[in-house]
Structure 1
Amino acid sequence: MVGQPGASTRTLPSGVVSMLFSDIEGSTLLLTRLGSSYVDALALHRRILRGVWAECGGTEMGTEGDSFFVVFPTASGAVGAAAEAQRRLADHSWPDGERVRVRMGVHTGSPGVHDGDYWGMDVHRAARIAAAAHGGQIVVSAATVHLARTGLSGGVSLRDLGSHHLKDIPEPESLYQLTVAGLQDEFPPLRTLGTSSSLPVPATPLLGRDAELARLTELLRSPDVRLVTLVGPGGAGKTRLAIAAGAALTAGFSDGVYFVPLAAAQTEQVLWTSIAEVLDFPARDRAPGPLMSHLAQRSLVLVLDNLEQVEDADKVVAAILEAAPNVAVLATSRRPLGLVGEHQHPVVPLALPDEVGLAAAERSGAVQLFVQRAQAVQPGFALTAGNVADVVAICRHLDGLPLAIELSATRVRLLGPKALLARIDQALDIASTSSVTPSRQRTLRDTIAWSYQLLAPDHRRVFRRLAVFAGGADLDAVAAIACPGLGQEDPLDVVAELNDASLVTISTDSDAGPRISLLQTISQYADDELRAGDEEEAARRAHAEYYAEVAEKLLAMRESTHGTALELAETELGNFRAALGWAVPDSAEAAGDIGTGLRLCAALGWVWLLGGYVAEGRRWHEHVVARAGAEPSKNLAACLRGLGNLLLMQGEIERAQEVATSSLAMARTLDDAAGIAFSMSLLGTAQLQLGQLDAARDLLEEALTQHRRLDEPGRLARVLGNLGGVEEELGHLDRAESLMRESLALLEELGDVHEAAVQGQNLAYLLIVAGRLPEAEAEARALVDTVVALGSPSLTMAFANTTMNLLLRNGDLVGAAHLFGAEEAMRDRLEMPNPYLEEELTEALAALDGAMTPETWQTHRQAGRAYRVEDLLTRFPG
């Protein structure tokens, strides 16, 4: 914590005090979006908060970047300050319509005071509480609530968030949310250890599963049980039971329990990626190798939900269990994985009462669930002697299946139990269903059909068409794809109707708006209904064309709002995959639409590249290119360029050169000036990496001339940098520096933080080569935080090499050797070989100049392979 000037001379509040920590959530993305305006936003944020702290009697202890540590003599003062601060932040108009979302945590305790600052576990507890919150949220400890509760006023209230485990603090902490009237009051689960940070928080308690939950958790606590699969039909409650089991297991696994939703996953590669994303892996480590290396050192549980449709899921699970001896897997699936050591746990329907009486019914999990869900829509509903027979009959008709009960119970708002039972008797015809389908699945299907038939015809059509989405959709997509022909009816009203019927789920985010999705089983039902009619082709075509347009818009956004565009693209990955799968199907019999497939391929190359999906992106590009044939088109040429970039990332330089050559030839055939310029840049880059310097310079000079005629400043900046790299290799350092500085100026004007960092590090390396070490060191020091925050694998490794060269020339030979080894190991993990490895090693050994033996260097180089590159880079400025 950075103290304020003169802190040691201040008289600080002592004894019981309330400590408030705050910082801006997503500050790196905000910096990316705002560019130079971020400094103004940060200063304004500080001015607003400091004004509140002063008004409420707070003592500011320090600030670092966008964070504050403030101490108040009373709990009510701290709570009041937090509430007022959030009001003023929400009321302010920020640059470019952005929102500055600040998270806050308050804890009350008796920290020690020494040398003008506070110390002790209470300080750490307050900081951990703040770190658990989300932007716009205020989280307070039970100690603070105890002292401040009676003084709450002005629309401020408390919400109990339950007990949570905070990082590095052994005992659990009861946490509360301070809710301010008129401000956002719904947030994701807190970012605390285990359950709260990685398991969904169910809206209702688990009913009728106590004995089953106890058996399941006991099984998973056994040291010789590594894999348990919850097997049962859709709607039986497998996911809900898995979440409850995961919550009960957090104390037994020191690194927590992680829930991995896989409803939108179909391939082994997406399964690996989904696990990595839940574990908060950066893009560079999303490959199976780094992930398993991480898991091998951890004691945790992976809850893999909805595995049945994932190709080769058994291979992924087997690989994890073999590599990570202290990792357990709890899977949900409609069928077992079939692995040695797998323990199957059948999830049967909820218990039904043996008799109709009230006492027996109240002990039944099925009846308990029906009553609970009925009361959610009709608060006055109660189980009575007059309706118990009908309620029991309904639950029996629904075979005790939780989802079926939940769907039917919501209709109590419109129908009493007797009328509801009559409707079920008419609409659900179990005997008419296929004899090969399990009875519980038939019951669930009929229950969904009953809710479906209650919809108006236009709303049924919307529901059917929702089946084409993968991973949900925003309201604009639903309106465009699922709601044509609705006339003046607002799509939001239709979605609300489907939500009331429990056929869709809606997640809300104050920035992105509502996102609509279907439960897996209900989505399958909608898909079957869509296939049974004559509108499937039109719906899937509309979906693919819509998301091709989305991809093209995001490609255009990339040049000016790189971080935001990538974040939005990753949100829609499931839909992009589904659109590509329809447009360019694996089956030769399926029609698809290669034109739409080419549009998607042409627009998504950068997403695969920068999002860490290089192998998957390459697979899609190769599939699209193979199906497209040889007919020249701008989109095919763009797909070839995208494939070339992905091949460069994987070290297949000669093949990348071939693909780039084909792209250039096609662009020339089409007389596509922009395509010619882009292809020249790619081909010149491949030639540079192959050491064909004269050819690369000639081609990139021509590409530069072409780019100067185009209104594409971002691409112009990149070709300037590429040409600068060639001139550097040729020894033309003045020319190289001029090109790089021109590139950097363009990128800074555009606000492209990523590409500016790429060119900035290239310039730093050039200055090293030119012997201008102080200038090179200044450039590198200014880039460290940005490079580490961006997390780009290629940029990180390039910057590591530049920093290593600076360390060598500054005499830090051990640090240089460590960084050399760490970068080498990172490349090995990512399967991104360094074509210049031998050259760089020779230069490094020559730079030792007798100050260290080559053998000692190699020892330190080997030791460096155990470090993370980022950790070594963050030590460089110090």
Structure 2
Amino acid sequence: MDDEAMPGRLRDAGVTRRELEVFWLVGDRLGNREIADRLRLSERTVESHVSALLRKLAAGSRRSLVETAGRLRERSSALPQPLSSFVGRESELDDLAGLVTTRRMVTLTGPAGIGKTRVALHMAHAMKEPPPAVLVDLAVVPPGHPVDRTFADALGVEGDGRAIGPLIRAAIRARPCRLIVDNCEHVTPATAALLADLLAAAGGLHVLATSHGPLGVAGEVVFEVPPLPLSEDDDPGVVLNSPAVRLFVDRATAAAPGFTVAPADVARIAMICRRLDGLPLAIELAATRIRAFSPGELLDRLDDRFALLTGGARPGRHRTLEEALRWSYDLLDEDERLLLDRCSVFPHEFGYDTAVQVLAGPPLTAADLARLFPRLLDRSLISVRRRAGATRYRLLDSIRQFALGRLAERGESEEAHDRHARHHLEHAVTLVPGLRGRDQPAALRWFGEHWTDLRTAMRRALDTGDTASAWGFLAGIGTGWEILGARGELFDWLDALVDRPRPGGAIGVHAAITCCILYCYQDTGRAREFATWADAQAADAEERALADLMLGWVAIYGDDRDAAARILGSAAAGFDGLGDVWHRALALSLLGLATQDIGTAVERQSAAADLFGRLGDHVKRANCLNHMASAVIEAGVRLPEARTWLDEAAELALRTGNDHERFHAELNGTRLAQLRADHRAAATGFAELLPEFLRIGDLRCATRCHYGLGQAAAAAGDHERAREHLVTGNRIAVATDDQHLIGIGRGLLAATEHALGRPPDPSPPRR
């Protein structure tokens, strides 16, 4: 070993290469026999080297040699001491401890601000057994520059020029250690080359590195540092014990010693941590703002997080969230930056094929995306999740917000968002045939995965006045909404559109059909207006059959069953002539609803269920089974069969992920329990379902929940409470103009008024 590779004091004392190797092992508290075995020397030779070291270093004892070695190591490799507590990461540290003791090269990866350095240093401090840890911090090295000098400084190696590499290798061979190599992302090629050389030269070397992505060294094990988890539990105690919230509270308390978490603040703090994706840097910076803002005020300001999360007393390179992300962004090539910026148009997860459709465009081709996506993944700027063989990507929200800003600076924001909106609104319509047939599972899965995209796209269309795209989407799905089910935002979109000019021609008729279907959940009178308009505008056999279908539907809710049966019979014949089996099955199901005789009603629903089943439409089969059960429960007959039908409906709803039909099955099951006088279970069931139906906008079923709660309260003798629910339910029934439900509600309310000793209200309900 060259003399320049050893600390100056040892070199000046005339310590030889072999004596240096013995010196470091003495410093590790190894006995002479252990040293002899390690260096393949005789024990007598080791004794001779130890005697020489005692003489040359004027050490009075072997203990003095140990202390000298410790001081020299501390001077060259002193690990920074943490200034704040280490929160969370218990499971990660356990996994990492197993890796660093069995693998020679482990790299911690993750985006800026995820806490890689903190985890690496905590692990280094926790390792009590030799070899000792030496920190090599590459943050000070300019991007793309050599890293040898920084390694040499950390190891206490003197020398320069071309000789520095061999000197570092000699020092590593002579002094076994564990290198903590931090911040490698901007000097990856040079760092990887040097580490590969050192690992090959020194069998006792272990490396724990941190970088945005893998270094590509042979034998490297990559350990991805995840965001801090946040419990999905609603219990405040559980939420407060989750690592992300614990970090926020710890740093907030340090920044504002008088801060305490009020019960109402637990959910707000949890939402702050969730909005910040569990990113420790962002959480710490947000927590310091507790001096100026309450948790609720902080949450309200997160849309402008880069202005909010600045400064603070946090040590290290990144004192702002934007600074941390800018560091990562500046290390990208220009085409990588452009792709990352364009990815920001996705509000949530997305697949690669969708990305190609939305993001490819000059100067990026589809082939470019195939080349660039792995690079962004390797730099931890895109997260990946695999489920059932499918890969989904997403940007952490802070990265997405940063990239959105860069996209706007490029002047591409409007075009990129329009492209995203058009793709999703148009592609959704192409899946309607699949929704109605044997491709239903894949189509339903697409809508489930892309609903956030569709919500964003509709908001874009409405905000920019693109009513053609908005109507094209809603009308294009049309009767397919019967499969997808009611969703609260559908009614918001309709409210924003119906007062604007309605499209003409076929799209206008289908838009009216959609309005009728959806308003049937909320307002029979308004649904009737659209059905009548569609009937007047129908220009071909398909449009006339659809208009008849809608007119018959609203007649059912108007309690004009005879007219409904006549019109629906015409619709069924029309669809039969068109060879449209799915719509014929829908007409048959509605005919079942219009039929007074229970046996015939169930028979028609059963026939419709069989047709839907043969087509592969499990959602509408579940819907028919729910209607069959509802009919016999209301009549109080064939209850064992009702239970069988409901079990199958629930299973089909779960299989397809259709919440609406699952809620219907649970509602009918609760009605069945009430019919069997299990009023406590019924009260619980109706209470749990009521907010769900209100959330998705199904006011008819919300009415049934209120009626059920009223009956349960009456059975318990609480007639005042019963009256409250019945009045509320009847008010909703009147608002929806559902004459059948109005009649049921008036009968229940009259019985309750009688129980309270009050005369019945003779006035008819009003809208």
The TM-score normalised by the length of structure 2 is 0.52
1:483 maps onto 2:360 in alignment: yes
Which residue number in structure 1 is paired with residue 516 of structure 2? 644
After TM superposition, list the pairs within 5 Å mapping 1:109-508 onto structure 2: 214-215=254-255, 219-221=259-261, 240-241=280-281, 243=283, 307-308=300-301, 333=305, 347-349=309-311, 351=313, 365-367=315-317, 400-405=319-324, 407-408=326-327, 450=330, 454-456=333-335, 461-485=338-362, 486-487=364-365, 489-498=367-376, 504-508=381-385
Is the 8 Å Cα contact of residues 818 and 864 (structure 1) preserved in structure 2? no
Is the partner of 1:691 in helix, strand or coil?
coil
Aligned amino acid, residue 523 of structure 1? A
Which residue number in structure 2 is paired with residue 743 of structure 1? 608
Of the candidates 654, 664, 676, which is equivalent to residue 535 of structure 2?
Answer: 664
Aligned amino acid, residue 760 of structure 1? L
Is the partner of 2:348 in helix, strand or coil?
coil
Is the 8 Å Cα contact of residues 605 and 624 (structure 2) preserved in structure 1? yes
CA–CA separation in structure 2 for the residues paired with 1:861 and 1:645: 32
Aligned amino acid, residue 526 of structure 1? R
Which residue number in structure 1 is paired with residue 504 of structure 2? 632
Aligned amino acid, residue 654 of structure 1? G
1:192 positional shift: 7.7
CA distance 1:487–1:468, change in 2 (3 Å): closer
1:682 maps onto 2:550 in alignment: yes
Percent identity among equivalent residues? 19
CA distance 1:708–1:463, change in 2 (3 Å): same
1:694 maps onto 2:562 in alignment: yes
Which residue number in structure 1 is paired with residue 667 of structure 2? 800
1:572 maps onto 2:444 in alignment: no
CA offsets, 1:768-803, max 9 Å, x none?
549444444543455566668867346635763476
Aligned amino acid, residue 800 of structure 1? L
Is the 8 Å Cα contact of residues 650 and 661 (structure 2) preserved in structure 1? no
CA distance 1:366–1:811, change in 2 (3 Å): closer
CA–CA separation in structure 2 for the residues paired with 1:561 and 1:302: 46
1:306 positional shift: 7.0
CA offsets, 1:157-213, max 9 Å, x none?
xxxxxxxxxxxxxxxxxxxxxxxx9xx99899697868999899999x999x98666
After TM superposition, list the pairs within 5 Å mapping 1:805-816 onto structure 2: 808=675
Structure 1 stretches of 5 or more lacking a match?
Answer: 1-138, 153-180, 249-300, 311-331, 336-345, 352-363, 370-399, 411-447, 587-591, 866-878
Is the partner of 1:508 in helix, strand or coil?
strand
CA distance 1:496–1:595, change in 2 (3 Å): same
Aligned amino acid, residue 640 of structure 1? A
Which residue number in structure 1 is paired with residue 742 of structure 2? none
Aligned amino acid, residue 355 of structure 2? V
Which residue number in structure 1 is paired with residue 402 of structure 2? 522
CA distance 1:240–1:555, change in 2 (3 Å): farther
After TM superposition, list the pairs within 5 Å mapping 1:750-761 onto structure 2: 750-761=615-626
1:659 positional shift: 1.6
CA–CA separation in structure 2 for the residues paired with 1:795 and 1:309: 36
Is the 8 Å Cα contact of residues 554 and 569 (structure 1) preserved in structure 2? no
The structure with more strand, counted as a fraction of residues = 1
1:697 positional shift: 1.1
After TM superposition, list the pairs within 5 Å mapping 1:551-562 onto structure 2: 551-559=428-436, 560-562=438-440
Of the candidates 583, 593, 611, which is equivalent to residue 725 of structure 1?
Answer: 593
Is the 8 Å Cα contact of residues 385 and 391 (structure 2) preserved in structure 1? yes
1:744 positional shift: 1.2
Is the 8 Å Cα contact of residues 626 and 649 (structure 2) preserved in structure 1? yes
CA distance 1:755–1:229, change in 2 (3 Å): closer
1:689 positional shift: 0.6
CA–CA separation in structure 2 for the residues paired with 1:694 and 1:757: 26
CA offsets, 1:337-372, max 9 Å, x none?
xxxxxxxxx644265xxxxxxxxxxxx7224x6xxx
CA offsets, 1:398-425, max 9 Å, x none?
xx434424543x5xxxxxxxxxxxxxxx
Structure 2 stretches of 5 or more lacking a match?
Answer: 1-90, 103-218, 289-293, 727-767
CA distance 1:714–1:483, change in 2 (3 Å): same
CA distance 1:824–1:699, change in 2 (3 Å): same
CA distance 1:858–1:807, change in 2 (3 Å): same
After TM superposition, list the pairs within 5 Å mapping 1:844-855 onto structure 2: none
Aligned amino acid, residue 517 of structure 2? N
1:617 maps onto 2:490 in alignment: yes
CA–CA separation in structure 1 for the residues paired with 2:264 and 2:489: 35
Is the partner of 1:509 in helix, strand or coil?
strand
Is the 8 Å Cα contact of residues 431 and 443 (structure 2) preserved in structure 1? yes
CA–CA separation in structure 2 for the residues paired with 1:217 and 1:785: 53
CA offsets, 1:844-877, max 9 Å, x none?
99xx9xxx99885958968999xxxxxxxxxxxx
1:544 maps onto 2:421 in alignment: yes
The structure with more helix, counted as a fraction of residues = 2
CA distance 1:307–1:476, change in 2 (3 Å): farther
CA–CA separation in structure 2 for the residues paired with 1:785 and 1:862: 35
1:636 positional shift: 3.2
Number of aligned residue pairs:
503
CA–CA separation in structure 1 for the residues paired with 2:702 and 2:252: 59
Is the partner of 1:349 in helix, strand or coil?
coil
CA offsets, 1:654-675, max 9 Å, x none?
1111122223333x13x2x434
Is the 8 Å Cα contact of residues 674 and 707 (structure 1) preserved in structure 2? yes
Aligned amino acid, residue 645 of structure 2? E
CA distance 1:501–1:695, change in 2 (3 Å): same
1:704 positional shift: 1.0
Is the partner of 1:221 in helix, strand or coil?
coil
Which residue number in structure 2 is paired with residue 323 of structure 1? none
Is the 8 Å Cα contact of residues 534 and 547 (structure 2) preserved in structure 1? yes
Is the 8 Å Cα contact of residues 641 and 660 (structure 1) preserved in structure 2? yes
Is the 8 Å Cα contact of residues 519 and 526 (structure 2) preserved in structure 1? yes
Is the 8 Å Cα contact of residues 468 and 503 (structure 2) preserved in structure 1? no
Which residue number in structure 1 is paired with residue 645 of structure 2? 779
1:647 positional shift: 1.8
CA–CA separation in structure 1 for the residues paired with 2:262 and 2:297: 19
Aligned amino acid, residue 542 of structure 2? A
CA distance 1:477–1:197, change in 2 (3 Å): farther
CA offsets, 1:361-404, max 9 Å, x none?
xxx7224x6xxxxxxxxxxxxxxxxxxxxxxxxxxxxxx43442
Is the 8 Å Cα contact of residues 654 and 662 (structure 2) preserved in structure 1? no
CA–CA separation in structure 1 for the residues paired with 2:723 and 2:257: 43
**How well do the aligned residues superpose, as a CA RMSD in angstroms?**
5.9
Aligned amino acid, residue 474 of structure 1? G
Is the 8 Å Cα contact of residues 356 and 369 (structure 2) preserved in structure 1? yes
1:596 maps onto 2:546 in alignment: no
Is the 8 Å Cα contact of residues 350 and 394 (structure 2) preserved in structure 1? yes
CA distance 1:478–1:694, change in 2 (3 Å): same
Which residue number in structure 1 is paired with residue 205 of structure 2? none
CA–CA separation in structure 2 for the residues paired with 1:786 and 1:217: 54
CA offsets, 1:56-76, max 9 Å, x none?
xxxxxxxxxxxxxxxxxxxxx
Is the 8 Å Cα contact of residues 684 and 699 (structure 1) preserved in structure 2? yes
